[in-house]
Amino acid sequence: MQNYNVIFADLTHTGVGINADVFPLGISLVAAYAIQEIGDRIDVEIHKFPEELNEAIGHRPPDVLCLSHYMWNSRLTYVFAEYVKRLEPTVVVIAGGPDFPLPEDEREEFLKARPAIDFYIKWDGEHAFVQLMNDLMDMDLDIRSYKERGTASSNVCYVTQDRYIEGPNHRVQNLMSIPSPYVMGLLDKFFEFPLMPMFETTRGCPYSCTFCNDGSELRNKVVSKTTEFVHDELNYIADKKPASAQLCFADLNFGMYKHDLETAKTIRDVRKRTQWPDRMQGSMGKSQPERLVEVARIINQGDLGILKLGSSLQSTDAEVLQAIKRKNLSMDDLLEMRKDRGSDGSVNLQDYTELIVPLPEQTKDKHLKSIRDVVDRLEMNNMDVHQLTMLRGSHMATPAERKKHGLVTRYRVLVGCLGIYDIGADRIPVTEFEEIVVATRTMSFEDYLECRVMTLLVKVYIDNDPFKEIFEILRHFGQSPFEVLERLQERYFTQRECLAQLLEKFIHGTKIKLFDNLEDLDDVTEKGDIEMLISGDYGQNELLTHRVQAIWEHYSEVSGALEDAVLSQLREKGILTDEISLYVREALQFCECRRFNPNEVDEAKESQFEFDFLAAEASGFRVDPKRIRRSVKLRFAYELEDANIIRKQRERWGTDTLHQIGKFMQKTNFLRTRRKVREIAL
């Protein structure tokens, strides 16, 4: 009996470092199930990087090439599909993944525009792939014979002559039918790379968000793995000593289910035994707030900050949430989570949420109100504000939804998803794109740009608590930190020439990347020097780089603008005194001494203050300055464990460019980046 060579590939761009820096879990689950079911008839390889895939194809062309298809690797994937078809037309090319339209007519157009893809597997791939392979192997992989039969196999879509054939929808109902690719050893080679191991305990989502390609009714039923399976898999991963300090979970609502408590205990025990992971990344649940708090408490064990506590909101406006079929935790539930988070004595936990702009029915005022809710009411210190992306496979990307909400879209290079690759004997530049919404019938493009400016201010001043000491004293006096952000946007940020120029560059960087259609974008990327695209306006994340530039290159001006805005607000409210003014200045000096710089990890700082900031910190900095008036001298230095973590992250991300520093900040547990403070003799 012939054995067929099957190559599985979940590609990532590497032109600006490793873009999708996670283990290839999805496609490896398909491979693991295939080995379990038909392993006596196939030889399997799994690849992640375009360089190694090119080498593997050159060494031994596959009989079957299976490709994960995501927004961030769509074109790179297809270039390899075309290459193997040129090399050997009889190679069976099978693609699968969420980057696939919902309407049947759009699916047909999608495949007709990509003739190098023989079959596309929608939804879950494990069972569908094995069924398709069995049918193909019975025909000795004769693609034409299979298609001429017109078989409508579960989840399989294909074009034959002038017909489009799509099999019935299928979900994997029993996740335990699929073995662990980790425990099978299929992913061992990836542990040497700086990739985050990814694990899955549940599949499916009970919610129906229109912007998400998991919002389909087919995905509403949630299925789970056993706690024993998860225990064995996580311990296997930890024992391999991953090169990445982070662990990524694929669950769409982690922490929401009873079994998540057991998973949390496993992660806690793994960390006690191996000191890994230092960070977890993924989506937490949208209900069961008490359970979410308990899961975070178990994993974090105090204030280690391994798992951010929070829930993605997207918006806090009821009309907007209804338009996108989104269900959030109530504000009362979120406030209760906020109250419970420090009940174990920890005061430095990270609260996290996500917002999106511009959503259907969202106005500028509604979006700013959502930011105010997050900053003032929920007091969260970690927030990402995403631009709305039209994801293929989402309900929002359908023509009806676009028309209903007057969605105006533009195309741009997908940040980090570009490079020049050896594919066969050729060097081929490949650039991915994304379609983003820049206006709706309720939000103009000008309002969208103003919302983007507020996003930058949130990332500079709020995200990761760089000025916690300032915003907490405002809260002590019953003042709104968000109003300070408004003052900064309206006046104080642009009063300093370097910050005004930075803001102009940020707006320019936002606008110049936008193209009316994909053809115009392709003209720029195809005619331009790919290296220039990588380093210039089109390939950089303007929010990431301008945030870093503000903090690294203009810190004194950023701090000074904040001082002016805070003092003006306190003055107008009749609160400001000479003592409070002095406290604000010294609190900013305290922030400066504690400020994170990955290249100063071995340096300690000392400074003298007229207020006891250690006493202030014990109260979360929400304290009357008069009560802590005392001359102190403080030393700021990293503890050994924190310093080692920073060094490891510095080695992983680098600190030579704004982009590298930005990724460093984005991926690092910021509780580990705050110097510890102790009093020393005057």
Tell me the per-residue pLDDT of 149-182, one tens digit each, with 9 for 90 and over.
998 999 999 999 889 999 999 999 999 999 999 9
Query: Do strands 426-439 and 408-423 pair parallel, antiparallel, or not at all (unpaired)?
Result: antiparallel
**What's the average model confidence in pLDDT over 25-35?**
98
Query: Do strands 202-203 and 223-224 pair parallel, antiparallel, or not at all (unpaired)?
Result: antiparallel
The most confident of the ranges 290-294, 337-341, 667-671 is 290-294
Percent of the chain with pLDDT over 90: 74
Q: For residue 67, give Cα distances in angstroms to 6, 22, 202.
A: 11, 16, 23
d(CA 579, CA 575): 11
Q: Is the pLDDT confidence value at 665 over 90?
A: no
Please, what are the domains in the chain? 4-166 (3.40.50.280), 554-680 (no CATH)
Q: For residue 580, give Cα distances in angstroms to 37, 376, 408, 562.
A: 71, 21, 48, 15
Q: Is the pTM of this model over 0.85?
A: yes
**What's the average model confidence in pLDDT over 43-65?**
96
Choose among 213, 241, 300, 225: nearest CA to 265. 300
What three-state secondary structure class fits 418?
A: strand
**What's the average model confidence in pLDDT over 645-658?**
77
Torsion angles phi and psi, residue 166, rounded to 5: -135, 125
> Model confidence over 364-403: pLDDT tens digits?
999 999 999 999 999 988 899 999 999 999 999 999 999 9
Q: What is the mean pLDDT of the chain?
A: 91
Range with the poorest average pLDDT among 128-142, 227-241, 249-263, 532-546: 532-546
**Could you write out the three-class secondary structure of 194-223?**
CCECEECCEECCCCCCCCCCCCCHHHCCCE
Q: Is the pLDDT confidence value at 542 over 90?
A: no
Cis peptide before 168 (omega within 30 of 0): no
Confidence of residue 673 (pLDDT cuts 50, 70, 90): confident
594, amino acid identity:
R
